[in-house]
Chain A
């Protein structure tokens, strides 16, 4: 900042914004593993969603009875609510890993496990029923989604689905109409510091831009409007392979901690000038199951000294100037892609909002903590911005809900592969990218 004062008459002042964290539901404090299983989280989810769907049913199909799967009668039209379960032929099965005979043929391709023979069943706490008909496509839905279905039981004992009701976008808190000024939030993900594709110079350029050490006055003026930085997962890549239960040689000890130290140095620069949220991702030194808990402060002895440094959960929910932002480091969407189909990642994101569930595939194919009495991934209030980290490409869209909800969807690309960060304007929820290149050839 001192340098600026010398260079210019106008002292650029960084804009400020109010911030409040809404991560509480994602934090695991007293919960421990006491032998509980996953049935409870499904039960909690079904309970929440069923109350909701039951309240929607009279508007959707008035006059039709709502019943449980048990109460189905042959050929009687009715509405049932339950959790979907998808039978998948190709779904990898842990039993195979343990019991299979050694075979020469490799396992199926790892990125998608869909098969034309996949079928859906609906389950509530009373039982399950096989779903038939062409209304509900197995390619779209995944295990764990709660929906209301209209249809009737056939002779074969199946439930012929005639119509589907999803919960739809949750209600949104309207943001105040008073005129706003341009304020920006920067999203970065997949820095992978220490990884083979990571380029320290690229990252340094980004930091210099954000902190206003780059470019002319105009550019610095824009930088001064950045009020917040979000690191959406996979900030560091460390050699996990070294940790095999044995004591490390001192050489390996430093190989292990070097990338983290490097990241800490970078983050210290950011934290020194503006607020920073860091979320854990699948490759970070954090736990595996969702919700991932904040990266431990002991990893960041430098940056954690600043009160602008916040280590958050994944998923992460917060408000900046009363704009509600919700996002993950990408696991929820990546898992949907393995078990269902959509034209792009944004469509997956939109689905999770309409299903009112951040990560429906938990715990079935996506690891999660076995909650006993709640499902933290249930979305009760619609965010204004919904972001997902560690995607291949930058993509964004603005979607509209039936009750006037407006949501900005953002796919944040991996920085180490693309050199792209995403900037969101809080005034109008517009988005643009920042690209950093470090080619020396030209």
Chain B
């Protein structure tokens, strides 16, 4: 059934011979900073409505499910809504647009296709809203060539229209270029003395035509009387939805009011929303998110997770492996418990208390039940863990494989299928990431994995380690090879799986609540003015651009669409770092910090696009020197008395708003209000800090290295200036007890040793210095004193550790930077060792103790007494072996494991844990990697030298070199490094022919079978040797019991075996090891029973 071709009766958008028409999936590479609109045509084919009704009848057939689902529909509309006698006030969450026929009643003068803005949202009563906004047209600007009169403009219009017609042959619009208006505007770039220039506003029919029109103008156009002329376009890269929001003063997630009488109920409902109506864009009232309108509507948040039955040795693939379970939890925003919990399973599943279990016989039914569920429950936000890259595309591709054409109708628009496309997202902040973009119309997707990667630096982003980190809970992890076994078992084993699946669906919701993502992201959207969906899927720059566009609009400025210059513009000198005087400081070190340094500099020196004076202008304009600032990097900017910069103004607003939010936060009592305010102040802070980066992003929207290099040059100057002032003023000559010394300075902080012994005195001096130096800077640049480090271990630049004090009585915490306490490539041993050493050095002030601890650890390592789980190194397998250029240990191991057992071998995307084992002489490092479980099971000796040399020595030396004279000799060589030699693997070669014989437990001498335990010499030490054996057994038993019962606690069931194979869990290997050690210890003990 080629329903897809039926789906788009309208000719697909031009230029692309739309692959979207063939399949709901197509390929597009979009970079962070390339914003492209995509026109989607509205379906109004009658046959499709029929098809839709057929589907609904289909639901009728499955009345049982329908009944279950109906319970969860949204609250019914009140009479006032039904009669349209009241205005509709709702919080919008998603804004997009669609191409449809222009509205005949609202816009009697237009005809043909037009872009219709759709706003989706929720009222405070919980009704879903779909608002079709008409009359807003896409446009952009060009600079009007001098001498162009009204006649020239209309001629220009005709020429442009003709050119557009050639390019957009397929569009069925009566007119491509609707009109061209002459306006007085000014470019944001460079300081100009004239207040305005003539600009042409070119209004086109459809959003995508902005791009094609820009292309024509870029390439050049022949105009009579002006010749061939190419134009620089302005604001031609603004997404249509964002353009609409800017022009209507709508910010992401704010409340919108459509007054009664100004809206018309749609003749035919195109969406599943309760309130669906048409209105004119000029009738919308956008409420600023303040006071009453800072609240949140009761959105429905769906958190879900799917399970698939993979084949042995393969990660599940949608064209082979069935979806067997889908678990769903729906929570109303602001409530702490989900009000719907259910799970849909393939084949029978035993009931679960408090959960609605829906079992189906076919996969088709499971998928369709989920679709019906989505439609009935109508979630506003869909969350999950890795849903964007895995769960959602999987469901859609699976449905495609099974030929269920009616499945991917998950959006709020009837008949509209979900679209999946592969995207590559690259950003300076996060590097390049491949991902999939799934468009579900009207519903916001929030992938917790993306949010985590964006907002937090963690050593691992598995759901397990994320929940361990934020919720302090270990998550049970069932290996995908076991999932199929559970599925193929009975109703009970499937229930087991369902419980696991539900847990995985609940964790994202709990993370969302715990980290207040909804509040923080909605506030971020409100502050920066972009839709919420942009925040996760796009980079930082759109947020700044949105603010810049809003501000420019107020001032009559327009922003040029600068050609992506690549890195041609070159780079500039970054922040300065004062040379670190490495050492261990046992006197308090005061830290002087510049409060938001870069924003302050931009404000203080009025740095902006519109205040920058070009070198030619600087010569020509002859500006009086008191009106300009010459930056240390040699640029000229005018002062605010001539022209106030836009960026400084944005920053000022952000910073004042943050101050206000912080003040309100202090006053606030209600926890929900607090959450909103805290989210807001955080959003404001992040936004203020991203402005500088925006100007320096060379592949960004509007790079201006003159600004960014000026900012950093001022920053450098200030650090130097501070150093000089401190060292000049705080001297014995100046009447102080000691000479102050600046030992280190980073981007925005300076570390000073005032020479005093106690923290309080250092704090007083720090405060005095901050105040004194602040006085020498232009406002609002301010040096603040916040903390003292005491003691302080400075290793090198960007690497230090110290105890942090903010009050003189007690230190707050141990603060480290750039030291191996969190690196994820290292084994746990390194982390533990470093943390323990720092603890001993800084808190216990026991350097000999730290040295002894290191020696003991090294000795334990060399004597093979180290717990294996401490030695596990983990690396992500991103490609298969052939794709790697150099052989890497974890890749080689993955290959070897695949040969051993394809079912449990790691796949691309998994993290591969390994240990380095002793191997034959001359073996390459990558050949020495081995699976920790395999090592445990086969008693393979590890290679302690590798760990000593390649893992722990560097971090240790870094810490100890400032402290000890001969750190390397002292720590890494010496009596404690005399190791017991461990024989290399003995289960190979000649050893296979050796006969095993009992040895005396006491002295390892060979004994006969008759003697059983001890040789005649050791007989006298029987009691002692027995004690030794039995104490070992008792220790193993204790460990065994505690480890395995912990896993029972974690999985939340006593009567079922633990299945978890979470390699991220700190006790996973220990648990396995305990099992094996226990068996061995017991065997030893049994030799005594006679």
Interface residues of A (CB under 8 A from B): 32-35, 37-39, 42-43, 46, 69-72, 83, 85, 93-95, 98-99, 101-102, 104, 123-129, 143-144, 153, 156-157, 238, 240, 243, 245, 248, 253, 256-257, 260-261, 285-289, 296, 298-299, 301, 363-370
Contacts and interface: CB of A to CB of B under 8 A. Distances in A.
Contact of A285 (B1027, B1043, B1056): B1027
Nearest to B1080: A33
B1054 A39 contact: yes
B845 to A, nearest CB: 14
Which residue among A69, A72, A296, A364 has the maximum number of chain B CB atoms within 10 Å of its CB?
Answer: A296
Interface string B671-693: 00000000000000000000000
Which residue among A248, A256, A260, A261 has the maximum number of chain B CB atoms within 10 Å of its CB?
Answer: A256
Nearest to A246: B863
15 contacts: A32-B1083, A38-B1044, A72-B353, A95-B474, A123-B1055, A125-B1055, A128-B1053, A129-B354, A157-B354, A243-B1028, A253-B1024, A286-B1030, A299-B1022, A363-B1044, A363-B1045
B353 A243 contact: no
Secondary structure at the B interface, as helix, strand, loop or mixed, is helix
Nearest to A364: B1045
Nearest to A102: B839
B1054 A260 contact: no
Given A70-B350, A240-B1031, A260-B1023, 7 more contacts: A39-B1057, A42-B1054, A93-B1046, A126-B350, A126-B495, A127-B350, A144-B1054
Which residue among B499, B869, B1030, B1083 has the maximum number of chain A CB atoms within 10 Å of its CB?
Answer: B1030
Contacts of B1052: 128
B352 A127 contact: yes
A94 B1046 contact: yes
B1030 A289 contact: no
A287 B1021 contact: no
B865 interface: yes
Interface residues of B, number: 59
Interface string B1049-1065: 10011111110000001
Contacts of A125: 1055-1056
A95 B1046 contact: yes
A38 B468 CA distance: 24
A143 B1049 CA distance: 11
B1071 to A, nearest CB: 10
Given A35-B1075, A95-B1066, A245-B865, A257 B1041 contact: no
A367 B1037 contact: yes
A70 B351 contact: yes
B1030 A39 contact: no
B495 A127 contact: yes
A367 B1034 CA distance: 10
A85 B1054 contact: yes
Contacts of B663: none
A297 to B, nearest CB: 9
A287 B1067 contact: no
Q: Report, nearest first, the 10 A-B pairs whose CB atoms are least far apart.
A: A157-B354, A288-B1034, A367-B1041, A98-B1066, A33-B1079, A289-B1037, A288-B1037, A99-B1066, A42-B1054, A257-B1023
B908 interface: no
Nearest to B354: A157
Contacts of A104: 843
B879 interface: no
A287 B1043 contact: no
Interface in B995-1042: 1021-1024, 1026-1028, 1030-1035, 1037-1038, 1040-1042
Nearest to A85: B1054
Given A33-B1082, A38-B1044, A123-B1053, A288 B1033 contact: yes
B1070 A157 contact: no
B353 A256 contact: no
Given A39-B1048, A98-B1066, A127-B495, A285 B350 contact: no
Given A72-B353, A157-B353, A296-B1026, A367 B1054 contact: no
Nearest to B337: A156
A368 B1037 CA distance: 8
Contacts of B1023: 256-257, 260-261, 298-299
Contacts of B1022: 298-299, 301
B1078 interface: yes
Contacts of B1034: 286-289
Interface in B419-475: 468, 474
B835 to A, nearest CB: 6
Contacts of B293: none
B919 interface: no
B1089 interface: yes
A125 B865 CA distance: 40
Contacts of B181: none
Contacts of A287: 1030, 1033-1034, 1037, 1085
Interface in B780-837: 835-836
A32 B1082 contact: yes
A71 to B, nearest CB: 8
Given A33-B1082, A43-B1055, A93-B1046, A248 B1024 contact: yes
A340 B423 CA distance: 57
A153 B351 CA distance: 14
Contacts of B572: none
B462 to A, nearest CB: 14
A263 B229 CA distance: 109
B72 interface: no
A363 B1041 contact: yes
A29 B238 CA distance: 79
A39 B354 CA distance: 24
A282 to B, nearest CB: 9
Contacts of A370: 1044
Nearest to A253: B1024
Contacts of A298: 1022-1023, 1026, 1088
A356 to B, nearest CB: 18
B1055 A46 contact: yes
Nearest to B840: A102
Contacts of A143: 1054
Contacts of B351: 70-71, 127
A54 B983 CA distance: 59
Interface in B950-973: none
A72 B1033 CA distance: 44
Contacts of A93: 1046, 1049
Nearest to B1039: A94
A366 B1038 CA distance: 9
Contacts of B353: 69-70, 72, 127-129, 153, 157
Nearest to B469: A99
A370 B499 CA distance: 25
Nearest to A300: B1023
A256 B1027 contact: yes
A296 B1088 contact: yes
Contacts of B869: 98
Contacts of A102: 835-836, 839
Given A102-B839, A298-B1023, A288 B1038 contact: yes
Given A39-B1054, A129-B353, A253 B1021 contact: yes
B1067 A98 contact: yes
A143 B352 CA distance: 21
Interface in B214-245: none
Contacts of B1035: 288
Contacts of B865: 245
A123 B1048 CA distance: 12
Which residue among A127, A248, A261, A365 has the maximum number of chain B CB atoms within 10 Å of its CB?
Answer: A127
Contacts of A257: 1021, 1023-1024, 1027
A39 B1056 contact: yes
A140 to B, nearest CB: 19
Nearest to B1065: A95
Nearest to A144: B1054
A196 B618 CA distance: 92
